[in-house]
Structure 1
Amino acid sequence: METITKASVIMSKDRYQKGLENLKKMNPESYQNLEEVLNGIAPDMARYIAEFPYGDIYSRPGLDLKTRELVTVASLTTLGSATAELKTHVHGALNVGCTPQEIVEVIIQMAVYAGFPAAINGLMAAKDVLEERGEEFEK
């Protein structure tokens, strides 16, 4: 039993490190802020976030970080209730090479599947991030 526990810890550290590497590329400040917020209530949650989505899923072959972030922006837009996470991933998308135009087009596309209110909310979140960063959007 102890061997399994040690193996789990080693694998967990590897997953965590991979996750941190991906987070550094995408949005390191966001993760640090999340880690600080969760530290007072659920410190393990920040580790779970680093390990599973960013260590396991974002590290898989087949899609680059740019594509993964565009898919994530689309998904969060369709939820319509994850504005903070959407803003974080708009930052992440820009940090890994997405253009403002690509992000806006992905969000507009979601009007077809999630409705206009979700797409408009997504566009407002993206607008906030673009303005915060001083990014220009070519109309």
Structure 2
Amino acid sequence: MTDPMADLHDRGRENFEGLVEGGKARLDALFATVPALGELAVGTVYGHLHERPALDPRTREAATLAAIVAAGMVGPPLSVHLRTGLAAGLSPAEVCEVVVQTAAFAGFPRAVSAADQLNRLFEGHGLPIPPPPSPREAVLAHLAAPDGEVAEVLAEFPRTEVQATGSDRVLVSCFGDDTVPGAVLHCAVDGGDVTSVTVFRPR
């Protein structure tokens, strides 16, 4: 008879390995003393929740990081989900913004504790401190002083929706009076700078 929890655990380990290099070995080390806890935790978080389709991986990891900060967990949970958050496409600046947002609702002491731990985690990952602007921030700054084809698009379709879809890319939907975008800008971002913008128009 198949054990549903064991199946979830196996899928969770595979999903975690896909996010974090050497992930299976890290999980084995983390839960070496209490493997049954690892089966429950990994099966639930990465076998079940990770595969639910209602949230994309970036949003799910952002929500998870907010919950971790709110709960005051600055040990392994924050370390693990910084890794998986970055792997899911969160930028370092977005991780920091989650901490800022959480402070208003969970209290500054917990947010400050998380920020203190992030200093060490960022240093360990070789990430710049403080991080460069988030992809969305970089694109908003770029759109504030557009030129060329981008300026023409924004003049024609002045209402925009700006959505980061990864740590290095942002989609800008441009609207006129219609509810359907008249153009979409695909913005590539590197280190807080917009490196290219591709304009897509419906045929």
Q: TM-score, normalised by structure 1?
A: 0.82
Q: CA deviation at 1:126?
A: 1.9
In proportion to residue count, which structure has more strand?
2
The structure with the largest alpha-carbon Rg is 2
In proportion to residue count, which structure has more helix?
1
**Separation in 2 of the partners of 1:88 and 1:74?**
13
Asked whether the equivalents of residues 6 and 39 of structure 2 are also in contact (C-alpha less than 8 Å), the reply is no
Cα shift readout 1:34-91 (whole Å, capped 9, x = no counterpart): 423433x322111112211211111111112221111111111011144321121112
Q: TM-score, normalised by structure 2?
A: 0.58
What is the aligned-residue identity percentage?
27
Asked whether the equivalents of residues 74 and 117 of structure 2 are also in contact (C-alpha less than 8 Å), the reply is no
Instruction: Supply the AA of the counterpart residue of 1:73.
Output: L
Hey, what does 1:36 align to over in structure 2? 29
**Separation in 2 of the partners of 1:64 and 1:95?**
13
Hey, what does 2:127 align to over in structure 1? 135
Q: CA deviation at 1:118?
A: 0.8
Please tell me the root mean square deviation across aligned C-alpha atoms, in Å.
2.0
**Separation in 2 of the partners of 1:97 and 1:126?**
17
**Separation in 1 of the partners of 2:122 and 2:62?**
15
Match of 2:114 among 99, 112, 122: 122
Cα shift readout 1:4-31 (whole Å, capped 9, x = no counterpart): xx04x2x334312321222113335465
Unpaired segments of 5 or more residues in structure 2? 134-203
Hey, what does 2:7 align to over in structure 1? 14
